[in-house]
Chains A and B, each alone.
Chain A
Amino acid sequence: SYEVTQPLSVSVALGQTARITCGGNNIVSKNVHWYQQKPGQTPVVLIYRDSNRPSGIPERFSGSNSGNTAILTISRAQAGDEADYYCQVWDSNTWVFGGGTKLTVL
């Protein structure tokens, strides 16, 4: 079965740029979606199909996908961005979530 790998944690200084990776074999051939989950809340879709933002999601959140790595980029990080972030792909009629990355804003 297909696996996607995320770092357990990423730290970023306030106002700087954070990059969260999602690795998978030839992941560029798949559509990657990203979710944010704050403590005690339900997940929210940040990016769908690699780089598309739903309405209401700030432009500070962007996505890219190339080779074996998809990246969620968070520009001008804010304290409110502290959360768990998950990537997601569709493979063989199943959804696969990454293990999640905890973002800490310093």
Chain B
Amino acid sequence: EEQLVESGGGLVQPGGSLRLSCVASGFTFNIYSMNWVRQAPGKGLEWVSYITGSSDTISYADPVKGRFTISRDNAKNSMYLQMNSLRDEDTAVYYCARDEVAVGDKYYYYGMDVWGQGTTVTVSS
């Protein structure tokens, strides 16, 4: 079964830091691009960050640019999100989600077709 499991969420004070992890299983992790997507309480989905399988392309949403860093370790089938200078508005459930698959030099997109169950980040004093 293809699966993603997030961890690392918790309660942190404004200005603090957290590191989220996402561990993949059941598929060849290193050929897939990956995302972090968040959802604030009662709100819609908000894309946070994207990374290709080889980490050669990385992008961030404007609200987190300069504060969050995405990375991955393909040997550990894992992706990470280092979150610094956290703000109240970063409070959300954070999901990791699978993106396009690389086959040779081509990319194929079937939607964000595998999601983790989410990890909750609460920024509050």
Contact = CB atoms under 8 A, between A and B. Distances in A.
B101 to A, nearest CB: 12
Contacts of A33: 109, 111-112
Interface string B25-57: 000000000010100000011110010000001
A97 B111 contact: no
A97 B50 CA distance: 14
Contacts, number: 61
Interface residues of A, number: 24
A61 interface: no
Interface residues of B, number: 23
Contacts of A45: 110-113
A45 B114 CA distance: 9
A37 interface: yes
B62 interface: yes
Contacts of B44: 84, 86, 97-100
Determine which residue in B45, B109, B116 has the highest number of CB atoms from chain A within 10 A of its CB, and name it: B45
A42 B109 contact: no
30 contacts: A31-B109, A33-B111, A35-B111, A35-B112, A42-B115, A42-B116, A42-B118, A43-B45, A43-B95, A43-B97, A43-B112, A45-B111, A49-B109, A54-B111, A54-B113, A86-B44, A86-B45, A88-B47, A94-B47, A94-B50, A94-B60, A94-B61, A95-B37, A95-B47, A95-B50, A97-B44, A97-B45, A97-B46, A99-B44, A100-B45
Interface of B: 35, 37, 44-47, 50, 57, 59-62, 95, 97, 109-113, 115-118
